[in-house]
Amino acid sequence: MRIEISENGQVIWIRDTKTLEGLACTSYVKDGTQLRIIAALEGALVQAKGEQLCWNNTDAVTDVRRPTS
């Protein structure tokens, strides 16, 4: 899987989990960009985990009284 973060139409961070390649810049630590990248990745992780929970209905019970039409 390849994860990219872009800002103003420019890709500023990449991570490829298959090839283990990436793109970053050491100046991002100084100008605060790295903190924004981390925040974006954390937000994406929260969203992905939330979406995963939406599909976790293994313990669900069907309401047989509910009309089908």
Average pLDDT over residues 54-67: 64
Asked whether the beta carbons of 4 and 13 are under 8 A apart, the reply is yes
Interatomic CA distance for residues 64 and 62, integer angstroms: 6
Say whether pLDDT at 3 is over 90. Answer: yes
Domain locations in the chain?
2-45
11, β-bridge pairs: 6
User: Residues 6 or more apart from 28 whose CB is under 8 A from it?
Assistant: 12, 13, 34, 37
22 forms bridges with which residues in the sheet?
15
Find residue 7's DSSP bridge partners: 10
Assessment of whether the complete model's pTM goes beyond 0.75: no
Average pLDDT over residues 11-30: 92
In this predicted model, which residue has the larger pLDDT, 22 or 65?
A: 22
